[in-house]
Structures are given as C-alpha cells and as structure tokens.
Amino acid sequence: MDLGEKQNPNPTVFAPRVASRKEKDLSLLDEDDEIGARDEIDAAEIFELIRHVNDPEHPLTLEQLQVATLDQIEVDDGSSAVDVRFTPTIPHCSMATLIGLCIRVKLLRSLPPRFKVRVSISPGTHASEHAVNKQLNDKERVAAALENAHLIGVVNKCIAQSDR
C-alpha cells in the first residue's frame, strides 16, 4: 500500500565520487554545433546530465543518494543506445517510477533524438523492479505522463537544478 509519508525518512547521503566536468561538455545540443555533426556521447556525459537531478522526496541529488552512479550507465554510441540503471534507496520505494521518469525526461530533453534510452532499476534493488521497468520503458505511458500538468510540474522541479 502506498504511503504518503516519506518512504525512506533517513536516507544515507554520500559525497560526490566523480569530479564535475567542465562547463562546455554539458551543452550537448549547442546551437553552434555543425549541422549534421554527430556528437559522440559517453557514460560520463550521461552521468553529468543526471547526477544533479533531485530526488522527489529529499533536497538531495540522485548522486548524493547514490541512486545514480557512473558505473550504472552504459552507452553504445555506435548504435545510439543509452542504458541507465538506478538504485532506489529502499526496496519498496514508491517513488521509483517518479525518479525513473525524471531521469528519462532529463535525457529526452538533453540528448539528440537518435538515442534509444532505456531507464531501469538496478537488478535486485526494488520489490517491484519488473513492473517499474515496464512502465518506465513504455513510451505511451511516458508520453501520457508528460501531458499530466501536475506530474510534469514535479518532474520539472526535480530536474530544474540539474544543469549545474
């Protein structure tokens, strides 16, 4: 049953382990990019995009909570495939779909459209892993969610500060 109280009132907070990249690497969609030029993307750049996304419940970033880490990201630039896994702080976290949605929206808005992004829960870290993954990777459900003003408001807040 879904609880309105915080799922994990006392999460463990971790210090950043990866140094932030320089400013220029962040702007993957710079206007002065040559038309047709293909930006090569690697896992570090993906991590840079999502590390400062806020957790929906806490004023903490996904990086601080180690929900997102560099080693949970795989990129195959050749086939334009991005695979992001994340680890909810507790196995019953009902926020998992919302966190996943924030990651998905952030990447959707930042990456060139050629990329096929898969966002999923790190295997074995959530009780409803399969159901959450299915929902996160159903583009129709995601599209409908993004038309929900309340929801997109929350997502926008979570990713508002992520371009640091």
Rounded Cα–Cα distance for residues 118 and 11 (Å): 26
To which H or E segment does residue 144 belong? helix 139-145
E strands in 16-113: 73-76, 81-86
Is the distance from CB of 119 to CB of 134 less than 8 angstroms? no
Q: How far is the CB of 94 from another protein (least distance, A)?
A: 5
Q: How far is the CB of 146 from another protein (least distance, A)?
A: 9
**Identity of the residue, 27 or 161, whose beta carbon is nearer to another protein in the bound complex:** 161
Q: How far is the CB of 66 from another protein (least distance, A)?
A: 11
Is the distance from CB of 118 to CB of 82 less than 8 angstroms? yes
**Identity of the residue, 21 or 157, whose beta carbon is nearer to another protein in the bound complex:** 157
Angle at Cα 158 formed by Cα 152 and Cα 164, nearest 5°?
130
**Identity of the residue, 85 or 104, whose beta carbon is nearer to another protein in the bound complex:** 104
Angle at Cα 157 formed by Cα 152 and Cα 162, nearest 5°?
115
Q: Which residues in this chain contact another protein in the complex, by CB under 8 A?
A: 1-6, 9-16, 54, 56-60, 64, 94-98, 101, 113-114, 116, 134-135, 137-141, 143-145, 147-148, 150-151, 154, 157, 160-161, 164
Q: How far is the CB of 123 from another protein (least distance, A)?
A: 17
**Identity of the residue, 21 or 116, whose beta carbon is nearer to another protein in the bound complex:** 116
